[in-house]
């Protein structure tokens, strides 16, 4: 037990810090760490090294090598660096390696040294060169901050969605700041920099003070003339400053509050300074590293000091600091509360007693019972078990984990109702963690991010086993891993497209949650367009296929897929894409083969782009539609008669071309009519334009222009029947009975004389009506007589005709007493007819 | 679009759920724009909106003033404007002009556009082209089904017919599929699906795809509706072209029923005001006469009036206590009934007046002659006279179309002369109308020498040619041959009647057309449901030119199961007439027993 706390170092009264070895490094470094650019990803992530030849006076003859190792020093990748000088390396949150070049170009590599993409940090950076660069992480992703040769800062808060922000100038900044860092306040990333004794926080969005004012941290000891090093905590909440007087100030990142200070009396600038704290712990400490010395300082008069035998490098983690050198990889952190309670010397905490009890029990000593009793008397057995479980999680060595878990399991036996989940969960978690901490895998994770991390390392079988072991739902776990595997598979350039596609489909089948379009997107990203198309074939939702097809410039295929999906919006999206991509002729040709798309586009053009619509019809030689188009235009666009007639003429020509003579003639008639109506308006006044032919003639008659009306009827060859109907109605409307009679006698009526009777009755002129009733032909006579109200005569005619239907019609008109006699007469005639 | 089905012994599903759903979503959308706002509503969304959420509900959610979307500058002074519109391009231009006018005036307001039932990319495109896309926020109000009555749903999309059947634009199919999907999530999966027509088939496929994508939820639920039948309107144009003679149909033909309500003018209300009346099953008087042949309606109404009078008369000779009872309990109901009765009597009178003026009997006679296919020449002459006399542009067209469809197109001479006459009577602009009618297959010309077999081989070639979309071309190039005569014979659409057809006690669905014609659409539905599929109807399907596009989908064959399987939902793609609804209600009563 004594030896277990041997590596515990107290800092102040309440906290202990311990440093233990994770791995002895397996790498075979030729260089000193100090000669290299080093970047290590957080969460036990990989380490990238690039021997930096550009910093030396004389450039090295050979090209440098970029090497990537796991945390245990297992080489993952190694490649010759062929691009320009690199200023800084860093890992993004997705474990992509970002290499910032002197010219502001950032190259992005995968974990295995595969080149992903590159982007530039802008022209200004290119001109002034990069002096210094940092990669930082915020809740939005990973960002890049750059200090240019002109002492200006440019940053992008998320490299996935590149938006460059140029920070405002700092007044009087003639040389590079002595130190700087990125901070994140109010969800915005800023630069904090130190110039002499002043700190600046330029805010690009502040309108009142576009230039930053110098700030001084509260409670700073006097005599400071410059800051040598600064560090922000993992969560951006705290800031530590190291001054040229060997004094360390620790406070909040907003510079509003001081937490503590420490004077270490070392004036040499430290190599590195990082925060070391764990979530929910009140203790805060900063680890400072010099060439051969490591110091942990916090809110205590004394500091903890370690001697460094070798060149070392610090990696801040969420709950501690990793320290690695050529030969070892160590972890330095604050001892967690549960462990402290159990292992502290002479601890009487329930967990400590339980552990002791279990040990005695194994020795078959009766002391076990004593200890157990002691805990039970205090009623603290559940806490004891809980403590042991928790502490096991924080232990690195499996032996210690086991003995703690054994103690917990022992304690559980004496409890009736202790929920088993936390114990089971911890056992599972530890198995997983131990597996990945294994030297071959080399991920010294402390907790909980595992499946995701493993997948990035292409340890698929292990990841799948873990997911199944942890019973993650399929969609979350296995599917994601399979999809990831497939994405990796498409990058194997030496396998043929067919084989890859088949292999992927065989393995994935219809696994829920796997998106073939994502995999295809990856294939396209690797330049394997054909493979991507093959993979898309497996995508069941055609809608999903379209965006990628568009990206791959397979627009026509995209169009047919969109049509297949039945989603008109999608079709429309593709159409607009095509419209920009192809020249007009090709675009129209494509449309022609896709009637569904064509009609959709036509609908749009009808409302929004009339000219295009015309071109469309022209292209197709669709003269019929062109004709309609011009007719519509004659109504919509043109005000003046001449313009309208011209439009109609074009329409008529088109109709001729379409061999639609009827329409052409009709249009020509319309032109004639329009011109005529115009003339009539000029000569007679009144409203003629846009009346129908029929109405034009009627209007003429109503205004007494009989001559003109006749002329018009002849010109436009109005059929006799229509003319008669027309005149009849018009004259009756005028109540010009004399003219009507004259008209009726002008020749034999082509529509008979019943309409005359009807129209007179409509105007309530029985007298006139009777005149015509006598002239109505025999078939309609009864009807006419009934209309004028001559029931008796109607009956006579009906009887004469011996027509059953007519007789019943008359009968139905016989009302009450007046027509009694008539009714009888009909009844008699009927009876007679039936007898025969 | 309408969804009538048999109102009968099996209990109807609770369609008011659809209303609640729509209302909640609208409120949610309105609350997305907190604070006072003015609401601009598209004219033809007003009535549907009124059925979902009235003004006071809108006010509760801080809608200040209501405006109609029309092409005028907005007078609103509110800082927040909300537009509730159909996804139409002209609306987008209106909104854009409004926003741009504000920009010119240096004014900043918040704009929100709510599209109903869904937004289209083309609309957003227009907003972008007009440079206001960044200034407005867009949302969707997925309000696609309005319950008009206990047994009637409507999508209230008047442009569906034109867009699909004339322009070949398929964008509403997605909306329809969404609506069907909504129905199946709310009322359980439909065990049996039938359909006919290209649009029906596409909608069905899209709908099934939607179900697949989010499967799981509907499975295992007890279906509330047993069958669904999708029917393209162009399968049966004839029925839609016939004059309606059931009461509800006549009210529609005369006054236009819009969104389940009708505006009765002063001539009906016998006062100087117009009155908006909701026509549905809650109107007791209307509910009894809506499906009746018009000739019975007067008799029924006068009987009703007498009964009412008798009930009023009972109060004579009552003592005080009885009188009190009468006043407190019955009088209100009687008064209500009285009011409704006088309204419907007024409506009947008005209908009679209009119909006699037009010589309705002659018109009906001609229609029947066309349906039965005799005296074609006489009918053609009647139509010509109809046009010459300028009786009514729409009626003239209706008759021409009916002639064309029943006769497989007009003979070339008539085609020309009728069109010429029509243009002379009603104006040259109708040249375009004729183009459209021709394209939709409503008014066509018999191709000279085009024998039946020739057309058929052409059709079958087109249909088998799977190079998609070619069929769409068939719309325009080959005016669809209707084969009405043959279908009519096959399906026995013209009942052979000896003596008078008793309209009071109808024997079959033909009563909705005075016993002269059984609506084709309803007959197809009847036959398919009877046979539980299309077996034995091959010839009919072939004649309808839909051979590839008729489908049945019987997921499981548990006929014996619940009551609900007797419920049938019929979906008319492109609208339906009240006559058809009445016929289907009749069918429900007959078969549902």
A207-241 residue pLDDT tens:
444 455 677 788 888 888 888 888 988 778 888 98
Question: Among residues B263, B484, B281, B286, which one has the least CA distance to residue B372?
Answer: B484
Distance CA A214, CA A202 (A): 9
User: Is residue B398 over pLDDT 90?
Assistant: yes
Confidence bin at A149 (pLDDT 50/70/90): confident
Nearest residue in chain B measured CA to CA from A671: B428
Question: Among residues B359, B22, B422, which one has the least CA distance to residue B186?
Answer: B22
Q: Which residue has the tokens 């969404």?
A: B178
User: Is residue B397 over pLDDT 90?
Assistant: yes
B465 contact A CB<8A: no
Distance CA A607, CA B88 (A): 9
Query: What pLDDT is recorded for position A6?
Result: 77
Q: How many Cα atoms are found within 13 Å in the side-chain-facing hemisphere of B581?
A: 27
Name beta bridge partners: A275.
A286
Q: Which residues 404-433 of chain B have a CB within 8 Å of chain A?
A: 416, 419-421, 423-429, 431-432
In Å, how far are A391, A690, A736, B25 from A722, measured between CA atoms? 106, 19, 19, 58
Q: Does A566 sit within 8 Å of B202, measured CB to CB?
A: yes
Query: What pLDDT is recorded for position A443?
Result: 67
Mutate to test the interface with B, among A513, A575, A599, A687 (most CBs of B within 10 A): A599
Confidence bin at A733 (pLDDT 50/70/90): confident
B423: chain A residues, CB-CB within 8 Å: 666, 669, 692-693
Q: Does B90 sit within 8 Å of A566, measured CB to CB?
A: no
Query: What pLDDT is recorded for position A765?
Result: 82
Mutate to test the interface with B, among A560, A574, A712, A722 (most CBs of B within 10 A): A722
Distance CA A747, CA A754 (A): 15
User: Is residue A1 over pLDDT 60?
Assistant: no
Nearest residue in chain A measured CA to CA from B126: A608
By DSSP bridging, strand A247-252 and strand A238-243 are: antiparallel
pTM for the whole structure: 0.67
**Which range has the top average pLDDT, A204-213, A471-480, A712-721?**
A712-721
Query: What pLDDT is recorded for position B249?
Result: 92
Note the ipTM here: 0.81
Query: What pLDDT is recorded for position B219?
Result: 57
Distance CA A127, CA A102 (A): 10
% of chain A beyond a pLDDT of 90: 1
Q: Are A38 and A322 in contact (CB under 8 A)?
A: no
Lowest average pLDDT, out of A536-545, A751-760, B2-11, B405-414, goes to B2-11
> What's the rounded mean pLDDT across residues B225-249?
90
Nearest residue in chain B measured CA to CA from A672: B428
Confidence bin at B579 (pLDDT 50/70/90): very high
pLDDT digits (tens, 9 = 90+) for A530-549: 777 777 777 767 777 777 77
Query: What pLDDT is recorded for position B477?
Result: 39
% of chain B beyond a pLDDT of 70: 87
- H helices of A582-640, where? 584-592, 595-608, 610-620, 623-636
Strand ranges inside A375-488, DSSP E: none
* Inter-helix orientation angle A381-394/A398-412, to 10°: 160
Q: Does A563 sit within 8 Å of B469, measured CB to CB?
A: yes
Q: Which residue has the tokens 């009487």?
A: A348
B427: chain A residues, CB-CB within 8 Å: 690-692, 695
Confidence bin at B522 (pLDDT 50/70/90): very high
B299 contact A CB<8A: no
Q: Which of B125, B427, B431 sits opposite A667 (nearest CB)?
A: B431
Mean of all residue pLDDT scores within chain A:
80
A720 contact B CB<8A: no
Q: What number of C-beta contacts closer than 8 Å exist between A and B?
A: 120
Nearest residue in chain A measured CA to CA from B205: A566
**Which range has the top average pLDDT, A543-552, A608-617, B58-67?**
B58-67
User: Is residue B464 over pLDDT 50?
Assistant: no
By DSSP bridging, strand B192-196 and strand B568-573 are: unpaired
Nearest residue in chain A measured CA to CA from B387: A722
User: Is residue B38 over pLDDT 60?
Assistant: yes
Q: Rg of chain A over CA atoms, in angstroms?
A: 48
By DSSP bridging, strand B146-149 and strand A36-40 are: unpaired
For CA atoms A319, A320, A324, A328, the dihedral sign is: negative
Distance CA A38, CA A51 (A): 9
User: Is residue A579 over pLDDT 80?
Assistant: yes
Residue B388 C-alpha, separation from nearest chain A C-alpha, in angstroms: 5
Distance CA A213, CA A198 (A): 9
User: Is residue B524 over pLDDT 50?
Assistant: yes
Confidence bin at B521 (pLDDT 50/70/90): very high
Query: What pLDDT is recorded for position A441?
Result: 65
Q: Does B89 sit within 8 Å of A604, measured CB to CB?
A: yes
Longest pairwise C-alpha distance within chain B? 85
Query: What pLDDT is recorded for position B423?
Result: 92
Q: Does B426 sit within 8 Å of A566, measured CB to CB?
A: no
**Which range has the top average pLDDT, A445-454, B73-82, B367-376, B455-464?**
B367-376
Residue B232 C-alpha, separation from nearest chain A C-alpha, in angstroms: 17
Residue A375: both structure tokens together: 């805990």
User: Prior bond to B117 cis, omega within 30?
Assistant: yes
pLDDT digits (tens, 9 = 90+) for A32-86: 777 788 888 877 778 888 876 665 544 555 678 888 888 888 888 888 888 888 8
Mean of all residue pLDDT scores within chain B:
83
Q: Does A599 sit within 8 Å of B168, measured CB to CB?
A: yes
Confidence bin at B248 (pLDDT 50/70/90): very high
User: Is residue B114 over pLDDT 90?
Assistant: yes
Residue A166 C-alpha, separation from nearest chain B C-alpha, in angstroms: 25
Confidence bin at B583 (pLDDT 50/70/90): very high
Residue B125 C-alpha, separation from nearest chain A C-alpha, in angstroms: 9
Q: Does A718 sit within 8 Å of B424, measured CB to CB?
A: yes
A400 contact B CB<8A: no
Stretch (H or E) spanning A128? helix A123-128
Q: Which residue has the tokens 């001609």?
A: B366
Query: What pLDDT is recorded for position A799?
Result: 81
- H helices of A509-567, where? 516-525, 529-536, 542-551, 555-565
A567: chain B residues, CB-CB within 8 Å: 174
Q: Does A721 sit within 8 Å of B385, measured CB to CB?
A: yes
In Å, how far are B173, B293, B295, B363, B584 from B518, measured between CA atoms? 29, 14, 18, 18, 11
Distance CA B388, CA A723 (A): 9
Q: Are B262 and B279 in contact (CB under 8 A)?
A: yes
Q: Which of B122, B425, B432 sits opposite A604 (nearest CB)?
A: B122
Mutate to test the interface with A, among B90, B121, B392, B436 (most CBs of A within 10 A): B121
User: Is residue A140 over pLDDT 90?
Assistant: no
> What's the rounded mean pLDDT across residues B280-308?
87
pLDDT digits (tens, 9 = 90+) for A356-374: 888 888 888 888 888 888 8
Q: Does B129 sit within 8 Å of A602, measured CB to CB?
A: no
Mutate to test the interface with A, among B388, B432, B475 (most CBs of A within 10 A): B388
B205 contact A CB<8A: yes
Distance CA A698, CA B388 (A): 12
Mutate to test the interface with A, among B213, B469, B478, B479 (most CBs of A within 10 A): B469
Q: Are A76 and A27 in contact (CB under 8 A)?
A: no
């Amino acid at each position: 037990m004594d030896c277990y706390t041997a590596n515990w170092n107290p800092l102040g009264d309440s906290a202990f810090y311990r440093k233990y070895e994770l791995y002895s490094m397996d790498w075979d470094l030729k260089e000193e760490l100090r000669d290299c650019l080093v970047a290590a990803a957080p969460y036990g992530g990989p380490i990238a090294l690039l021997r930096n030849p550009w910093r030396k006076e004389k450039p090295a003859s050979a090209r440098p090598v970029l090497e990537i190792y796991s945390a245990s020093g297992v080489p993952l990748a190694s490649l010759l660096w062929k691009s320009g000088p690199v200023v800084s390396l860093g890992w993004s949150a997705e474990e992509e390696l970002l290499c910032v070049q002197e010219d502001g170009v950032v190259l992005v590599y995968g974990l295995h040294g595969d080149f992903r993409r590159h982007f530039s940090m802008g022209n200004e950076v290119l001109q002034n060169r990069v002096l210094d660069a940092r990669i930082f992480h915020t809740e939005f992703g990973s960002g890049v901050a750059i200090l240019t040769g002109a002492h200006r800062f440019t940053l992008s808060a998320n490299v996935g969605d590149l938006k460059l922000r140029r920070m405002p100038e700092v007044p009087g900044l003639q040389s590079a700041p002595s130190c700087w860092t990125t901070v994140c306040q109010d969800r915005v990333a800023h630069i904090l920099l130190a110039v002499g004794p002043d700190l600046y926080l330029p805010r690009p969005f502040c309108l009142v003070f576009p230039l930053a004012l110098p700030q001084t941290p509260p409670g700073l000891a006097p005599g400071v003339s410059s800051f040598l090093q600064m560090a922000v905590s993992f969560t951006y909440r705290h800031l530590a400053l190291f001054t040229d007087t060997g004094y360390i100030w620790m406070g909040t990142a907003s510079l509003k509050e001081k937490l503590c200070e420490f004077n270490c009396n070392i004036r040499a600038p430290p190599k590195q300074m990082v925060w070391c704290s764990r979530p929910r712990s009140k203790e805060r400490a900063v680890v400072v590293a010099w060439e051969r010395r490591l110091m942990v300082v916090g809110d205590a008069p004394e500091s903890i000091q370690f001697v460094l035998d070798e060149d070392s490098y610090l990696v801040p983690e969420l709950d501690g600091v990793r320290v690695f050198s050529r030969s070892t990889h160590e972890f330095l952190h604050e001892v967690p509360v549960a462990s402290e309670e159990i292992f502290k010397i002479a601890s009487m905490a329930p967990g400590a007693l339980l552990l002791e009890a279990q040990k005695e029990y194994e020795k078959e000593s009766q002391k076990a019972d004593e200890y157990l009793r002691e805990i039970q008397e205090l009623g603290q057995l559940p806490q004891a078990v809980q403590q042991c479980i928790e502490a096991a999680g924080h232990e690195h060595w499996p032996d210690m984990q086991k003995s703690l878990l054994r103690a917990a399991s022992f304690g559980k036996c004496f409890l009736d109702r202790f929920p088993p989940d936390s114990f089971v969960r911890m056992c599972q978690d530890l198995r997983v963690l131990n597996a990945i901490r294994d030297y071959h895998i080399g991920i010294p994770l402390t907790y909980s991010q595992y499946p995701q991390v493993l997948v990035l390392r292409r340890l698929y079988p292990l990841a799948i086993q873990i997911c199944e072991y942890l019973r993650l739902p399929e969609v979350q776990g296995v599917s994601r891993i399979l999809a990831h595997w497939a994405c990796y598979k498409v990058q194997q350039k030496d396998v043929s497209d067919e084989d890859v596609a088949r292999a992927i489909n065989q393995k994935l089948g219809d696994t829920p949650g796997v998106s073939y379009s994502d995999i295809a997107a990856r294939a396209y990203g690797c330049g394997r367009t054909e493979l991507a198309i093959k993979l898309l074939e497996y995508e069941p939702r055609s809608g999903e296929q379209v965006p990628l097809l568009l990206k791959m410039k397979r627009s026509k295929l995209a169009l047919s897929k969109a049509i297949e999906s039945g989603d008109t919006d999608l079709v429309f999206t593709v159409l607009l894409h095509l419209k920009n991509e192809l020249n007009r002729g090709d675009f129209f040709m494509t449309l022609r083969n896709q009637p569904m798309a064509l009609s959709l586009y036509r609908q749009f053009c009808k409302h929004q782009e009339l000219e295009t619509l015309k071109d469309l019809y022209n292209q197709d030689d669709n003269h019929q539609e062109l004709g309609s188009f011009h007719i519509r235009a004659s109504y919509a666009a043109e005000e003046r008669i001449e313009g309208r007639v011209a439009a109609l003429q074009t329409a008529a020509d088109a109709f001729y071309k379409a061999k639609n003579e009827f329409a052409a003639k009709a249009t020509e008639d319309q032109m004639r009519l329009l011109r005529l109506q115009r003339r009539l308006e000029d000569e007679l006044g009144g409203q003629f334009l846009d009346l129908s032919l029929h109405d034009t003639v009627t209007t003429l008659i109503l205004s007494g222009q009989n001559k003109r009306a006749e002329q018009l009827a002849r010109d436009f060859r109005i059929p006799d029947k229509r003319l008669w109907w027309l005149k009849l109605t018009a004259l009756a409307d005028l109540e010009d009975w004399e003219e009507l009679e004259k008209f009726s006698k002008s020749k034999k009526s082509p529509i008979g004389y019943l309409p005359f009777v009807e129209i007179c009755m409509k105007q309530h002129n029985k007298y006139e009506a009777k005149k015509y009733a006598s002239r109505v032909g025999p078939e309609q006579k009864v009807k006419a007589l009934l209309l004028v109200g001559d029931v008796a005569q109607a009956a006579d005619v009906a009887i004469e005709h011996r027509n059953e239907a007519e007789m019943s019609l008359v009968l139905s008109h016989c009302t009450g007493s007046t027509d009694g006699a008539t009714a009888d007469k009909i009844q008699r005639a009927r009876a007679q007819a039936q007898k025969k | 679009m309408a969804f009538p089905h048999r109102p009968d012994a099996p209990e109807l599903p609770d369609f008011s759920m659809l209303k609640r759903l729509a209302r909640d979503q609208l409120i949610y959308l309105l609350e997305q724009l907190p604070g006072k706002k003015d609401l601009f509503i598209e004219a033809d969304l007003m009535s549907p909106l009124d059925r979902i959420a009235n003004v006071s509900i809108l006010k509760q959610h801080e809608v200040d003033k209501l405006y109609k979307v029309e092409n005028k500058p907005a007078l609103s002074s509110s800082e927040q404007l909300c537009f509730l519109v159909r996804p139409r391009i002209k609306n987008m231009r209106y909104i854009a002009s409004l926003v741009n006018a504000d920009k010119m005036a240096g004014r900043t307001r918040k704009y929100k556009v709510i599209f109903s039932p869904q937004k289209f990319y083309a609309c957003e495109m227009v907003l972008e082209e007009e440079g206001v896309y960044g200034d407005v926020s867009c949302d969707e109000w997925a309000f696609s089904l309005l319950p008009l009555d206990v047994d009637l749903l409507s999508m209230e999309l008047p442009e569906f017919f034109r867009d699909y059947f004339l322009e070949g634009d398929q964008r509403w199919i997605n909306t329809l599929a969404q609506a069907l999907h909504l129905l199946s999530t709310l009322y359980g999966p439909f065990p049996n699906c039938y359909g006919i027509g290209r649009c029906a088939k596409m909608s069905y496929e899209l709908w099934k795809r939607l179900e697949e994508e989010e499967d799981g939820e509907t499975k295992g639920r007890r279906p509330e509706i047993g069958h669904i039948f999708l029917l393209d309107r162009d399968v049966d144009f004839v029925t839609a072209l016939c004059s309606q003679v059931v009461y509800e149909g006549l009210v529609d033909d005369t006054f236009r029923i819009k969104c389940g309500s009708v505006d009765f003018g002063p001539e009906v209300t016998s006062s100087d005001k117009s009155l908006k009346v909701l026509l549905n099953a809650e109107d007791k008087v209307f509910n009894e006469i809506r499906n009746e042949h018009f000739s019975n309606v007067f008799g029924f109404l006068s009987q009703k009036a007498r009964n009412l009078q008798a009930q009023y008369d009972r109060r004579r000779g009552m003592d005080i206590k009885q009188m009190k009872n009468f006043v407190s309990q019955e009088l209100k109901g009687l008064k209500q009934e009285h009011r409704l009765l006088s309204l419907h009597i007024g409506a009947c009178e008005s209908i009679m007046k209009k119909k006699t003026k037009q010589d309705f009997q002659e018109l009906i006679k001609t229609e029947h002659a066309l349906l039965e296919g005799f005296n074609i020449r006489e009918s053609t002459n009647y139509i010509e006279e109809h046009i010459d006399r300028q009786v009514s542009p729409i009626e003239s067209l209706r008759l021409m179309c009916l002639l064309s469809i029943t006769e497989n197109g007009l003979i070339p001479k008539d085609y020309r002369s009728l069109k010429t006459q029509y243009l002379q009577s009603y104006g040259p602009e109708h040249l375009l109308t004729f183009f459209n009618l021709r394209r939709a297959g409503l008014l066509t010309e018999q191709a000279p020498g085009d024998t039946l077999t020739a057309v058929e081989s052409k059709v079958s070639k087109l249909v088998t040619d799977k190079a998609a979309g070619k069929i769409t071309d068939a719309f325009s190039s080959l005016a669809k041959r209707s084969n009405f005569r043959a279908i009519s014979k096959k399906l026995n659409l013209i009942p052979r009647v000896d003596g008078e057809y008793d309209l009071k006690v109808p024997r079959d669905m033909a009563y909705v057309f005075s016993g002269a014609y059984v609506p084709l659409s309803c007959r197809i539905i009847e036959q398919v449901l009877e046979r539980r599929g299309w077996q034995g109807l091959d010839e009919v399907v072939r004649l309808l030119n839909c051979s590839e596009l008729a489908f049945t989908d019987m997921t499981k064959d548990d006929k014996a199961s619940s009551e609900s399987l007797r419920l049938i939902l019929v979906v008319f793609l492109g609208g339906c007439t009240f006559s058809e609804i009445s016929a289907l209600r009749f069918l429900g009563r007959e078969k549902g027993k």
